[in-house]
Amino acid sequence: MCTAVRIAVAADTRERRLELRRAAVTAEWEVVAEADSPEGAYGETIERRARFLVLDASAAGPRPEAIVRRLKSIAPLTFVIGVGEVAGTDANLPASDLSGLRETIRTLLHDGGDHTHG
């Protein structure tokens, strides 16, 4: 059985955040936060205790690897998935194709030992 997974999404426009939300959510996974900037993404992910941050290149800022390092120093079990060209993430997806987002989340959960089958 999957454990509940909390997800934060970040993109510079509301429309793009909705696209990321739709691509990520399942019956067991909940989008708990949205942000439009790197600092907002960091803060919302920490505050909402999200297990995943889906970070679109549009909201990653000039040094996304610094945000990822900072996030992981406070919440080391958090995974960051970049959408588009985003440096320093645990996984990246092409900006034009979000169809692999759920599978990427599943893979990271399995590889991290956070997924059990009941």
Structure tokens, 74: 């406070």
Give the Cα separation of 93 and 83 in Å (integer).
Answer: 5
Calculate the average pLDDT of the chain.
92
Global pTM reads 0.92
Architecture of 5-111 per CATH?
Answer: 3-Layer(aba) Sandwich (3.40)
Q: Which of the four pLDDT bands, split at 50, 70 and 90, describes residue 114?
A: low
* Per-residue model confidence as pLDDT tens digits over 31-86: 999 999 999 999 999 999 999 999 999 999 999 999 999 999 999 999 999 999 99
pLDDT at 1 over 60: no
